[in-house]
Structure 1
Amino acid sequence: MNMRRKAAVFVSALAMAVGSGVLTAAPATADVPCSSNNLCLYKSTQFREPGLTTGSVADCHWLKDFQLTYPSNGIMSYRNNLPVKATLWYYYGSTWTNSANWSGPHATIAPGGSSGDTTGGNPAFHVSDKVCTGDAKPWQT
């Protein structure tokens, strides 16, 4: 192989190696902060993909509206910067306004509470239907 051809092969191999390294590099992910006086539920561990953010101290939210329950991964991390607790509930009936069709509370997030990874803990973080803040009940809101 002549010198010019060897140089071309070397440059080609180098370009492919560098190019493939760029193509396979993992994207940078950053912690998404949760403002004061908010409950933040995330779709990924380590607070990277926001799902639900609320500043309400007495309200409930359907987790499916935010892809935070089955068949999605659920609440993978959370921060509660509210002055009240947040509670997770299961729904198993035909009328959501009937308290008998709700089971829970199955998990409670204390004021100031946080977890960067819920995968090894309470399964309620992955299959609950509603989250309620303060004393709100899922059949009332």
Structure 2
Amino acid sequence: MNLRRKIAVLVSTLALSVSGGVLAAPPAAADEPCASTKLCLYRSTLFRTMELSTGSVSNCWWLEDYNLGDSWSGIKSYRNNLGVKATIWYYDFGSTRWEPSARATIGVGGFSSDTTYGNHAFAEAEAVCTGSATPQVYL
């Protein structure tokens, strides 16, 4: 093989390996799948940064424990693949104590890739309950 042909083969090989490396790079942000029997709550839009995933059909969770409370900017996206609704709760000061107030409901099969527009209930959420469960009252 002459020198020109060797250089051409070398340049071609390098070009293919560089472009192959670029094509094989993983995407910057991928949506995190939610199992078909779960409620999934995400700290980011577009179903990224899943913080809570549950298959329980009658329970409550304090969102601060999952980096989803209002000090963390709340729930940014969600999927409800459970067979029951999920209710978003906030605490209001009642006549003599803090009382839970239902702010939003996520129906069966409900989802949103971005809750930041028009509904502050997800930004101010303090608890989420599935089915008919309700959070305890602060005394």
Interval of TM-score (by shorter of Structure 1 and Structure 2): 0.7 to 0.9
Once the two structures are TM-superposed, the CA of residue 91 in structure 1 deviates from its matched residue by 2.2
Q: Distance in 2 between matches of 1:71 and 1:101?
A: 18
Q: Which runs of 4+ in 1 moved over 6 A?
A: none
Deviates more, 1:102-111 or 1:74-83: 102-111
Partner SS for 2:134: coil
1:129 aligns with 2:126: yes
Alignment of 1:18-33 (within 5 A): 28-33=28-33
Q: Distance in 2 between matches of 1:90 and 1:102?
A: 8
CA deviation map 1:33-85 (0-9, x unaligned): 00011000000000011011010000000000011122112100000000000
CA deviation map 1:94-137 (0-9, x unaligned): xxxxxx63232100000000000000031110111100000001
Structure number with higher helix proportion? 1
Structure number with higher strand proportion? 2
1:48 aligns with 2:51: no
Contact 1:88 1:129 (C-alpha < 8 Å) held by counterparts: yes
Q: Could you say what the CA RMSD is over the residues aligned between the two structures, in angstroms?
A: 2.0
TM-score, L = length of structure 2: 0.73
5+ long unaligned stretches in structure 2: 1-26
5+ long unaligned stretches in structure 1: 1-26, 94-99
Contact 1:89 1:102 (C-alpha < 8 Å) held by counterparts: no
Equivalenced residues, count = 110
TM-score, L = length of structure 1: 0.72
